[in-house]
Amino acid sequence: MKILVRVLISAIALWVAAAVVDGIDVRGGSTGEKVLTLLVVAVIFGIINAVLKPVIKVLGCVFYIVTLGLIALVVNAGLLMLTSWVAGELDVPFHVEWFWPAFWGAIIIGVVSWLLNLFVAGDDRD
């Protein structure tokens, strides 16, 4: 259940980023197709973050320290661009144009996800 909530939160955050940032596109015909696309992209984004982000943090530990964590914004943008590429390879109609839309989109996704997690945060003892 917890994973479904996280996927739903990520999908909502991706939707907000696509609505606000020019250069992040969710293509599709009907609203149902767009919702399904956002859910699939949220799963892809979650898998990429779960696999690559810890590796990047360990290997780039010095850069995180030297930049006081600001490199995380660049890393998150890169992971969003990678998500766009993977979605394109899987014929999922989601696309991020280039770095700056990915940068601002990653910031929006992070803020929206954080805010939504405040509302659904509960007892984490499973």
Contacts of residue 22, defined as CB under 8 A and 6 or more positions apart, other chains included, come to: 101
- Residue 22's Cα: distance from chain center in Å? 16
pTM: 0.83
Predicted local distance difference test score (pLDDT) of residue 123:
54
Residue 3 pLDDT greater than 60, yes or no? yes
96 close to 80: Cβ distance less than 8 angstroms = yes
Residue 3 three-state SS: helix
Average pLDDT over residues 9-29: 89
Neighbours of 55 (CB within 10 A): 9
Predicted local distance difference test score (pLDDT) of residue 124:
56
Residue 63 pLDDT greater than 80, yes or no? yes
Predicted local distance difference test score (pLDDT) of residue 122:
64
Instruction: State the chain's mean pLDDT as an integer.
Output: 88
Q: What is the pLDDT of residues 86-100, one digit of tens each?
A: 999 998 899 999 999
Q: What is the pLDDT of residues 64-90, one digit of tens each?
A: 888 888 888 999 999 999 999 999 999
Average pLDDT over residues 105-121: 89
Q: How far apart are CA 48 and CA 74, in angstroms?
A: 15
Q: How far apart are CA 97 and CA 85, in angstroms?
A: 10
